[in-house]
């Protein structure tokens, strides 16, 4: 199934518990002021990606990562692709974490929301509010909530997650990531 992909990172420590693969969906109509990833808002940006190919890339890292984190943009605004990707991951043993600007109740009411949530271990939910910035423990602002939807993780598993991370790739490119990523030159 095709999706709009903003970026993929095979290994990150600032996007959930442990070392995780990270998928950033492209497109978000919520456009929270002060969003850390405004380049992911344009629904026509990024690139087209096949969920089967993306799953293959994630599974290549399976021996070193404990899970996959899905962010954006807004993953729930591509519900079919999000559900397909999560279902492909369900049997592989990797944990599944999804960041969304929607609250848990809003996510439940979205198209395919209940089916998507049934495939998720952790949901980090709520719009980013710049005036309530926290930037730690996977929370960008104090109104956001971490929902453990399975028993795989406990609240103590989110203590000590770096708020930001700079990843230098072999080709010289750099990924700035996390709930409070550093900006180049700042």
- What confidence tens digit (pLDDT) does each residue in 125-173 have? 999 999 999 988 899 999 999 999 999 999 899 988 988 888 888 898 8
pTM score of the predicted model: 0.93
In a domain, 183, yes or no: no
Q: Which domain holds residue 82?
A: 2-177
Residue 184 pLDDT greater than 80, yes or no:
no
Confidence class for position 83, pLDDT limits 50, 70, 90:
very high
What does residue 88 show for φ and ψ, rounded to 5 degrees? -65, -30
Rounded to whole angstroms, the Cα distance separating 122 from 126 reads 13
In a domain, 184, yes or no: no
Rounded to whole angstroms, the Cα distance separating 27 from 168 reads 25
Rounded to whole angstroms, the Cα distance separating 91 from 169 reads 29
CATH number at residue 45: 3.20.20.70
Q: For the chain, what is the domain count?
A: 1
Q: In what order do the strands lie in the sheet with 2-12?
A: 47-50, 2-12, 20-25, 67-71, 95-100, 122-125, 145-148
In a domain, 151, yes or no: yes
SS3 label, residue 95: strand
In a domain, 186, yes or no: no
């Amino acid at each position: 199934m095709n999706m709009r992909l903003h970026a993929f990172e095979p290994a990150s420590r600032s996007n959930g518990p442990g070392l995780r693969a990270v998928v950033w969906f492209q497109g978000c109509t919520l456009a929270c002021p002060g969003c850390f990833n405004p380049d992911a808002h344009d629904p026509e940006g990024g690139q087209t990606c096949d969920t089967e190919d993306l799953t293959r890339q994630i599974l290549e890292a399976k021996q070193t990562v404990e899970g996959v984190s899905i962010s954006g943009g807004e993953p729930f605004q591509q519900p079919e692709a999000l559900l397909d990707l999560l279902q492909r991951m369900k049997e592989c043993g990797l944990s599944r974490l999804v960041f969304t600007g929607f609250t848990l109740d809003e996510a439940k009411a979205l198209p395919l929301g209940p089916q998507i949530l049934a495939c998720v271990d952790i949901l980090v939910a709520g719009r980013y509010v710049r005036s309530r910035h926290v930037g730690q423990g996977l929370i960008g602002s104090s109104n956001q909530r971490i929902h453990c939807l399975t028993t795989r993780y406990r609240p103590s598993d989110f203590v000590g997650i770096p708020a930001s991370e700079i990843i230098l790739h072999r080709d010289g490119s750099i990924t700035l990531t996390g709930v409070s990523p550093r900006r180049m030159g700042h």
